[in-house]
Amino acid sequence: MLNKYARAFFTRVLTPFAALLIRLGVSPDAVTLIGTGGVMAGALVFYPQGEFFWGTVVITLFVFSDLVDGNMARQLGRSSRWGAFLDSTLDRVADAAIFGGLALWYAGRGDSLTLCAVTIFCLASGQVVSYTKARGESIGLPVNVNGLVERAERLVISLVACGFAGLHKFGVPGIQYLLPVALWIVAVGSLVTLIQRVVTVRREAAEADAVAAGAEDRGDASA
Protein backbone atom coordinates (compact mmCIF):
# COMPACT_ATOMS: atom_id res chain seq x y z
CA MET A 1 0.00 0.00 0.00
CA LEU A 2 2.75 2.44 0.94
CA ASN A 3 4.76 1.51 -2.13
CA LYS A 4 1.74 2.22 -4.33
CA TYR A 5 0.40 5.46 -2.86
CA ALA A 6 3.02 7.10 -0.62
CA ARG A 7 5.84 6.61 -3.13
CA ALA A 8 3.83 8.37 -5.85
CA PHE A 9 3.00 11.27 -3.51
CA PHE A 10 6.57 11.84 -2.31
CA THR A 11 7.91 11.46 -5.84
CA ARG A 12 5.79 14.44 -6.91
CA VAL A 13 6.84 16.44 -3.84
CA LEU A 14 10.55 15.74 -4.33
CA THR A 15 10.64 16.35 -8.09
CA PRO A 16 11.64 20.06 -7.76
CA PHE A 17 14.44 19.12 -5.33
CA ALA A 18 15.68 16.44 -7.74
CA ALA A 19 15.66 19.01 -10.56
CA LEU A 20 17.71 21.40 -8.40
CA LEU A 21 20.35 18.74 -7.74
CA ILE A 22 20.60 18.07 -11.47
CA ARG A 23 21.19 21.77 -12.15
CA LEU A 24 23.92 21.74 -9.51
CA GLY A 25 25.65 18.88 -11.31
CA VAL A 26 25.00 16.19 -8.68
CA SER A 27 24.70 12.66 -10.05
CA PRO A 28 22.02 10.13 -9.01
CA ASP A 29 24.72 7.69 -7.85
CA ALA A 30 26.18 10.36 -5.56
CA VAL A 31 22.75 10.92 -4.00
CA THR A 32 22.39 7.16 -3.46
CA LEU A 33 25.79 6.93 -1.74
CA ILE A 34 25.30 10.03 0.41
CA GLY A 35 21.82 8.94 1.42
CA THR A 36 22.99 5.50 2.48
CA GLY A 37 25.92 6.97 4.40
CA GLY A 38 23.60 9.34 6.25
CA VAL A 39 21.18 6.56 7.19
CA MET A 40 24.05 4.40 8.43
CA ALA A 41 25.48 7.24 10.51
CA GLY A 42 22.12 8.03 12.09
CA ALA A 43 21.43 4.40 12.91
CA LEU A 44 24.86 3.23 14.07
CA VAL A 45 25.88 6.36 15.98
CA PHE A 46 22.63 7.28 17.75
CA TYR A 47 20.60 4.08 18.14
CA PRO A 48 23.18 2.04 20.11
CA GLN A 49 23.24 4.91 22.63
CA GLY A 50 19.46 4.94 22.99
CA GLU A 51 19.16 8.30 21.20
CA PHE A 52 16.17 7.18 19.17
CA PHE A 53 14.65 10.60 18.51
CA TRP A 54 17.76 12.27 17.12
CA GLY A 55 18.82 9.13 15.29
CA THR A 56 15.44 9.00 13.57
CA VAL A 57 15.67 12.70 12.66
CA VAL A 58 19.03 12.10 10.96
CA ILE A 59 17.81 8.96 9.20
CA THR A 60 14.66 10.69 7.95
CA LEU A 61 16.71 13.50 6.42
CA PHE A 62 18.57 10.97 4.30
CA VAL A 63 16.09 8.15 3.73
CA PHE A 64 14.22 10.02 0.97
CA SER A 65 17.33 9.81 -1.19
CA ASP A 66 15.86 6.47 -2.27
CA LEU A 67 13.19 8.44 -4.14
CA VAL A 68 15.35 11.39 -5.18
CA ASP A 69 18.00 9.39 -7.04
CA GLY A 70 15.43 7.52 -9.12
CA ASN A 71 13.62 10.77 -9.86
CA MET A 72 16.86 12.34 -11.03
CA ALA A 73 17.66 9.38 -13.27
CA ARG A 74 14.24 9.61 -14.92
CA GLN A 75 14.57 13.35 -15.48
CA LEU A 76 17.99 12.81 -17.03
CA GLY A 77 16.76 9.86 -19.10
CA ARG A 78 19.57 7.80 -17.62
CA SER A 79 17.77 4.89 -15.96
CA SER A 80 20.25 2.02 -16.08
CA ARG A 81 20.79 -1.49 -14.81
CA TRP A 82 23.78 -0.27 -12.80
CA GLY A 83 21.75 2.44 -11.08
CA ALA A 84 18.99 -0.03 -10.22
CA PHE A 85 21.55 -2.52 -8.88
CA LEU A 86 23.37 0.09 -6.79
CA ASP A 87 20.13 1.47 -5.37
CA SER A 88 18.76 -1.96 -4.45
CA THR A 89 22.05 -3.09 -2.91
CA LEU A 90 22.49 0.01 -0.77
CA ASP A 91 18.84 -0.20 0.35
CA ARG A 92 19.73 -3.52 1.98
CA VAL A 93 22.80 -1.93 3.61
CA ALA A 94 20.69 0.91 5.03
CA ASP A 95 18.06 -1.50 6.38
CA ALA A 96 20.76 -3.60 8.02
CA ALA A 97 22.22 -0.50 9.69
CA ILE A 98 18.85 0.53 11.15
CA PHE A 99 18.01 -2.84 12.67
CA GLY A 100 21.66 -3.48 13.52
CA GLY A 101 21.76 -0.25 15.53
CA LEU A 102 18.63 -1.26 17.43
CA ALA A 103 20.03 -4.74 18.06
CA LEU A 104 23.21 -3.20 19.51
CA TRP A 105 21.08 -1.13 21.90
CA TYR A 106 19.13 -4.11 23.16
CA ALA A 107 22.26 -6.25 23.40
CA GLY A 108 23.92 -3.54 25.51
CA ARG A 109 22.33 -0.79 27.56
CA GLY A 110 18.83 -1.74 26.43
CA ASP A 111 19.36 -5.00 28.34
CA SER A 112 16.89 -7.26 26.54
CA LEU A 113 18.18 -10.32 24.72
CA THR A 114 14.61 -11.14 23.67
CA LEU A 115 14.17 -7.80 21.89
CA CYS A 116 17.69 -8.10 20.50
CA ALA A 117 16.66 -11.44 18.95
CA VAL A 118 13.41 -9.96 17.62
CA THR A 119 15.35 -7.09 16.04
CA ILE A 120 17.83 -9.47 14.42
CA PHE A 121 14.88 -11.46 13.08
CA CYS A 122 13.47 -8.24 11.59
CA LEU A 123 16.82 -7.61 9.93
CA ALA A 124 17.22 -11.14 8.58
CA SER A 125 13.61 -11.62 7.46
CA GLY A 126 13.65 -8.29 5.64
CA GLN A 127 16.71 -9.36 3.68
CA VAL A 128 15.16 -12.74 2.86
CA VAL A 129 11.86 -11.15 1.79
CA SER A 130 13.79 -9.02 -0.70
CA TYR A 131 15.83 -12.02 -1.84
CA THR A 132 12.77 -14.17 -2.57
CA LYS A 133 11.42 -11.59 -5.01
CA ALA A 134 14.81 -11.03 -6.67
CA ARG A 135 15.48 -14.78 -6.95
CA GLY A 136 12.00 -15.50 -8.27
CA GLU A 137 12.34 -12.82 -10.92
CA SER A 138 15.80 -14.11 -11.87
CA ILE A 139 14.29 -17.48 -12.85
CA GLY A 140 11.64 -15.80 -14.97
CA LEU A 141 8.69 -15.59 -12.56
CA PRO A 142 6.70 -12.39 -11.99
CA VAL A 143 6.34 -12.90 -8.19
CA ASN A 144 3.04 -11.11 -8.47
CA VAL A 145 2.13 -10.54 -4.82
CA ASN A 146 1.81 -7.51 -2.54
CA GLY A 147 3.12 -8.66 0.82
CA LEU A 148 1.66 -7.59 4.15
CA VAL A 149 4.83 -5.82 5.35
CA GLU A 150 7.29 -4.90 2.62
CA ARG A 151 10.27 -2.55 2.82
CA ALA A 152 8.28 0.70 2.96
CA GLU A 153 6.05 -0.62 5.74
CA ARG A 154 9.04 -1.97 7.69
CA LEU A 155 10.78 1.38 7.56
CA VAL A 156 7.74 3.51 8.38
CA ILE A 157 6.63 1.36 11.31
CA SER A 158 10.14 1.08 12.75
CA LEU A 159 11.22 4.69 12.27
CA VAL A 160 7.96 6.21 13.52
CA ALA A 161 8.12 3.99 16.61
CA CYS A 162 11.79 4.88 17.17
CA GLY A 163 11.10 8.59 16.85
CA PHE A 164 8.23 8.53 19.32
CA ALA A 165 10.07 6.21 21.72
CA GLY A 166 12.87 8.77 21.80
CA LEU A 167 10.45 11.30 23.30
CA HIS A 168 10.79 9.38 26.57
CA LYS A 169 14.01 11.33 27.17
CA PHE A 170 12.00 14.53 26.88
CA GLY A 171 9.70 13.45 29.70
CA VAL A 172 6.86 11.73 27.83
CA PRO A 173 5.90 8.80 30.10
CA GLY A 174 5.39 5.26 28.81
CA ILE A 175 6.11 6.11 25.17
CA GLN A 176 9.28 3.98 25.16
CA TYR A 177 7.14 0.82 25.03
CA LEU A 178 5.99 1.73 21.53
CA LEU A 179 9.26 0.53 20.00
CA PRO A 180 9.13 -3.07 21.31
CA VAL A 181 5.53 -3.35 20.13
CA ALA A 182 6.51 -2.05 16.67
CA LEU A 183 9.41 -4.50 16.40
CA TRP A 184 7.10 -7.42 17.17
CA ILE A 185 4.65 -6.15 14.54
CA VAL A 186 7.42 -5.88 11.95
CA ALA A 187 8.75 -9.34 12.85
CA VAL A 188 5.36 -11.04 12.52
CA GLY A 189 4.45 -9.03 9.40
CA SER A 190 7.76 -9.89 7.75
CA LEU A 191 7.22 -13.59 8.46
CA VAL A 192 3.74 -13.43 6.91
CA THR A 193 5.15 -11.59 3.89
CA LEU A 194 7.89 -14.19 3.46
CA ILE A 195 5.31 -16.98 3.50
CA GLN A 196 3.16 -15.07 0.99
CA ARG A 197 6.08 -14.74 -1.41
CA VAL A 198 7.24 -18.34 -1.05
CA VAL A 199 3.70 -19.63 -1.70
CA THR A 200 3.38 -17.31 -4.71
CA VAL A 201 6.71 -18.42 -6.19
CA ARG A 202 5.77 -22.08 -5.69
CA ARG A 203 2.43 -21.56 -7.49
CA GLU A 204 3.95 -19.54 -10.33
CA ALA A 205 6.78 -22.07 -10.75
CA ALA A 206 4.29 -24.96 -10.96
CA GLU A 207 2.23 -23.07 -13.54
CA ALA A 208 5.33 -22.21 -15.60
CA ASP A 209 6.55 -25.83 -15.46
CA ALA A 210 3.12 -27.09 -16.56
CA VAL A 211 3.07 -24.70 -19.52
CA ALA A 212 6.61 -25.75 -20.51
CA ALA A 213 5.71 -29.44 -20.24
CA GLY A 214 2.60 -28.92 -22.36
CA ALA A 215 4.60 -27.12 -25.03
CA GLU A 216 7.16 -29.93 -25.05
CA ASP A 217 4.45 -32.58 -25.40
CA ARG A 218 2.89 -30.70 -28.33
CA GLY A 219 6.32 -30.45 -29.94
CA ASP A 220 6.88 -34.21 -29.59
CA ALA A 221 3.42 -34.94 -31.02
CA SER A 222 3.98 -32.75 -34.05
CA ALA A 223 7.32 -34.41 -34.68
pLDDT band, residue 223 (cuts 50/70/90): low
Catalytic residue among 91, 111, 209, 217: 91
Q: Tell me: is residue 217 an annotated ligand-binding position.
A: no
CB 110 within 8 A of CB 153: no
Q: Tell me: is residue 80 an annotated ligand-binding position.
A: yes
- Reply yes or no on whether the pLDDT at 18 is more than 60: yes
pLDDT band, residue 77 (cuts 50/70/90): confident
Q: Please state the pTM of the whole predicted model.
A: 0.88
Q: Is 217 a catalytic residue?
A: no
Q: Which residues contact 22 (CB under 8 A, 6 or more apart)?
A: 72, 75, 76
> Smallest Cα–Cα separation from 126: which of 83, 189, 37?
189
- Average pLDDT value for residue range 44-64: 94
- Average pLDDT value for residue range 182-196: 96
Q: Tell me: is residue 91 an annotated ligand-binding position.
A: yes
